[in-house]
């Protein structure tokens, strides 16, 4: 089985994975930040093929993301199975706070989410000891109160997970080796020891994984002599920023570590256009300590997604910006219709629905009818960084927005429906090609495809935007009513 493992496990914008095994089934959850539906659940029986089976947050009340700043929202879930029930703990950052969701099956429906007001931090973990006591261990980054923004290491508290009541005052536990930003704690019991696994070093190039152990789930904890047990920093490995992971036992008895990482590109491998993705590597217990192998890429993977909008319901791949896709758009008889209120893609509340961009070499296209509005196709990292091909009146406008800078290219177009498209193309790295890729913005004219602009892709990467998500490509409406047909995405390349 381990020889068949594929990396990445989940391509494009799938950070902070948490995994649980129930019998022969494996379920995995990742972060979604300001997008809805939130907290996708993936399923596999062989750890090779993964299918998206649902989301935890499928109503606007599950996560209060409508007014959170970019980068807020659903942070770092922990997915567990206890007493014949699935549990998911998560931080709704700058929204509802620390929450616990429950479900009989991970495809849903999930509960409304129970707040845990006594926890002021992020990345909550859930673990139960033999007498049923539930421990929530978390990273004490303060999101509320007088100390907003301060970080007090890793803390723990005993809770009633059904009511969200804390049963004692939070107390500090092991906070790593002294590297910055200890986070992503997970607590495990193995062969008589309790192990506390954390990430530290920040989620950037210094990201790493460290582990400690004690005889009680509350500690005291002793750090491993080989910490950090995993890091790609200062290496030439193709997957960088490795950290924030979760352990699971594979079907052949092999321990596996699911974690986030970033595929870097460019002459100095400085840019990660797909953001933080989910990867897997092998692990083992040696003399009472965990050893984790470096993450390796497998063969390049290709993929495709298309939507003819014939079904009234959205496929699970679609995401809405701070709102559910069904609340932003209407599907009927092969058309997707969006209505805009004047908020363009530079607005935090743009009327935008899209899918994760999963590959380095891609082509995305859609037919757009703007006879009653303004809109088009957009590749979004956040409201300050996005590229678009927009139909407006008798023009098609290619637009690149990078922070406070914006540039446009335009041509006239005939009336009626227009097919607009974007292509991403990897650049060959070298001293003359330091970027990760090119983004070609185009439109189909009467005599074939027309390239309106070729723009540098590095500005829509995690390192340039400093956003926690990844590229999301889809359709938007700035004003009036815009109709779309035949959305198509293809991609390839590691």
pLDDT of 493 over the 80 cut = no
Scored b (16 or more CB within 10 A) or e, 96-129 reads bbbbbbbbeebbbebbebbebebbbbbbbbbbbe
Q: Are 290 and 1 in contact (CB under 8 A)?
A: no
* Per-residue confidence (pLDDT) for residue 68, from 0 to 100: 95
Give tens-digit pLDDT for 266-286.
Answer: 888 899 999 999 999 999 999
Question: What fold does the segment set 303-492 form as a domain?
Answer: Jelly Rolls (2.60.120)
SS3 of 283, please?
strand
Residues 276 and 469: their CA atoms lie apart, in Å, by 7
* Per-residue confidence (pLDDT) for residue 299, from 0 to 100: 78
* Per-residue confidence (pLDDT) for residue 3, from 0 to 100: 57
Residue 459 is given by DSSP the state G
146 class by beta-carbon count within 10 Å (0-12 exposed, 13-18 middle, 19+ buried): exposed
Q: Could you give the C-alpha distances from 462 to 157, 221, 426, 469, in angstroms and in order?
A: 33, 34, 16, 8
SS3 of 387, please?
strand
What is the average pLDDT across 411-417?
86
pLDDT of 429 over the 80 cut = no
* Per-residue confidence (pLDDT) for residue 267, from 0 to 100: 82
Segment among 150-164, 295-309, 430-444 with least mean pLDDT: 430-444
Residues 218 and 134: their CA atoms lie apart, in Å, by 11
Return the sign of the alpha-carbon dihedral for residues 409, 479, 55, 70. positive
* Per-residue confidence (pLDDT) for residue 474, from 0 to 100: 98
* Per-residue confidence (pLDDT) for residue 494, from 0 to 100: 67
* Per-residue confidence (pLDDT) for residue 414, from 0 to 100: 78
* Per-residue confidence (pLDDT) for residue 4, from 0 to 100: 83
Question: What are the start-end ranges of the E strands in 83-192?
Answer: 85-93, 97-103, 114-115, 122-128, 134-141, 151-160, 165-166, 171-172, 183-190
Residues 387 and 193: their CA atoms lie apart, in Å, by 51
For residue 121, whether the previous peptide bond is cis, meaning omega lies within 30 degrees of 0, is no
* Per-residue confidence (pLDDT) for residue 433, from 0 to 100: 73
For the record, the structure tokens of 153 come out as 């290491």
Query: Which run of H or of E encompasses 485?
Result: strand 472-492
Number of neighbouring beta carbons within 10 Å of residue 290: 22
Residue pointed to by tokens 């594929």: 6
Q: Report the top-level CATH class of 2-292.
A: mainly beta
pLDDT of 2 over the 70 cut = no
Residues 208 and 230: their CA atoms lie apart, in Å, by 6
Q: Are 160 and 205 in contact (CB under 8 A)?
A: no
* Per-residue confidence (pLDDT) for residue 375, from 0 to 100: 97
Q: Phi and psi (nearest 5°) for 3? A: -70, -20
Q: Are 320 and 327 in contact (CB under 8 A)?
A: yes
Residue pointed to by tokens 């989940």: 10
Nearest-Å Rg of the Cα atoms of the chain is 23
For the record, the structure tokens of 332 come out as 């009927």
SS3 of 4, please?
helix
pLDDT of 481 over the 80 cut = yes
Number of neighbouring beta carbons within 10 Å of residue 258: 22
Instruction: Give the percent of the chain with pLDDT over 90.
Output: 92
pLDDT of 392 over the 60 cut = yes
Tell me the domain boundaries of the chain.
Answer: 2-292, 303-492
Give tens-digit pLDDT for 97-123.
Answer: 999 999 999 999 999 999 999 999 999
Give tens-digit pLDDT for 30-75.
Answer: 999 999 999 999 999 999 999 999 999 999 999 999 999 999 999 9
pLDDT of 431 over the 60 cut = yes
Q: Are 247 and 256 in contact (CB under 8 A)?
A: yes
Q: Are 30 and 8 in contact (CB under 8 A)?
A: no
Query: Which run of H or of E encompasses 463?
Result: helix 462-465
For the record, the structure tokens of 17 come out as 């994975």
What is the average pLDDT across 82-87?
97
Label residue 146 by pLDDT band (50, 70, 90).
confident
* Per-residue confidence (pLDDT) for residue 10, from 0 to 100: 96
* Per-residue confidence (pLDDT) for residue 428, from 0 to 100: 82
* Per-residue confidence (pLDDT) for residue 254, from 0 to 100: 95
Domain 2-292 identical in fold to domain 303-492 = no
* Per-residue confidence (pLDDT) for residue 365, from 0 to 100: 98
Number of neighbouring beta carbons within 10 Å of residue 467: 21
* Per-residue confidence (pLDDT) for residue 115, from 0 to 100: 98
* Per-residue confidence (pLDDT) for residue 399, from 0 to 100: 98
Which of 14-23, 428-437, 458-467 has the largest mean confidence? 14-23
Residue 2 is given by DSSP the state G
Q: Which residues are catalytic?
A: 16, 183
């Amino acid at each position: 089985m381990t020889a068949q493992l594929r990396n990445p496990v989940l391509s494009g914008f799938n950070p902070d994975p948490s995994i649980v095994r129930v019998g022969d089934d494996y379920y995995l959850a990742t972060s979604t930040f300001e997008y809805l539906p939130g907290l996708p659940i993936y399923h596999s029986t062989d750890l090779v093929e993964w299918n998206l089976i649902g989301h935890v947050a499928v109503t606007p009340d599950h996560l209060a993301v409508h007014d959170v700043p970019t980068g807020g929202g659903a942070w770092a879930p922990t997915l567990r199975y206890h007493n014949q029930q699935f549990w998911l703990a998560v931080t709704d950052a700058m929204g509802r706070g620390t929450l616990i969701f429950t479900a009989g099956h991970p495809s849903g429906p999930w509960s409304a989410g129970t707040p845990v007001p006594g926890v002021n931090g992020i990345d909550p973990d859930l673990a139960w000891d033999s007498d049923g006591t539930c421990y929530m261990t978390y990273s004490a980054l303060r999101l509320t109160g007088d100390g907003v923004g301060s970080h007090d290491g890793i803390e723990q508290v005993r809770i009633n997970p059904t009511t969200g009541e804390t049963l004692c005052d939070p107390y500090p536990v092991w906070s790593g080796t002294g590297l910055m930003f200890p986070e992503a704690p997970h607590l495990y019991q193995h062969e008589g020891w309790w192990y506390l696994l954390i990430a530290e070093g920040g989620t950037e190039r210094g990201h790493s994984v460290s582990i400690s152990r004690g005889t009680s789930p509350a500690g005291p904890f002793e750090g491993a002599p080989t910490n950090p047990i995993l890091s790609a920093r200062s290496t030439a490995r193709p997957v960088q920023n490795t950290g924030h992971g979760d352990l699971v036992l594979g079907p052949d008895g092999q321990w596996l570590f699911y974690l986030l990482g970033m595929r870097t590109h460019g002459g100095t491998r400085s840019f990660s256009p797909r953001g933080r993705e989910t990867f897997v590597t092998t692990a083992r217990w040696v003399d009472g300590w965990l050893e984790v192998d470096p993450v390796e890429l497998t063969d390049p993977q290709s993929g495709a997604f298309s939507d003819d909008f014939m079904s009234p319901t959205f496929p699970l791949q679609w995401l809405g910006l701070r709102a559910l896709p069904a609340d932003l758009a209407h599907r009927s008889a092969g058309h997707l219709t969006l209505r805009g209120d004047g908020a363009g893609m530079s607005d935090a509340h743009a009327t935008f629905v899209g899918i994760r961009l999963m590959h380095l070499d891609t082509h995305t296209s859609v037919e757009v009818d703007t006879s009653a509005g303004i809109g088009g196709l957009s590749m979004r990292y956040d409201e300050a960084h996005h590229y678009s091909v927009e139909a407006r009146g008798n023009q098609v406008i290619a637009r690149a927005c990078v922070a406070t800078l914006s540039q446009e290219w335009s041509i006239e177009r005939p009336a009626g429906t227009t097919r607009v498209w974007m292509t991403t193309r990897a650049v060959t790295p070298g001293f003359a090609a330091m970027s990760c890729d090119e983004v070609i913005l185009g439109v189909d004219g009467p005599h074939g495809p027309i390239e309106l602009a070729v723009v540098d892709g590095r500005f829509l990467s995690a390192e340039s935007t400093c956003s926690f998500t990844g590229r999301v490509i889809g359709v938007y409406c700035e004003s009036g009513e815009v109709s779309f047909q035949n959305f198509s995405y293809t991609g390839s390349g590691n």
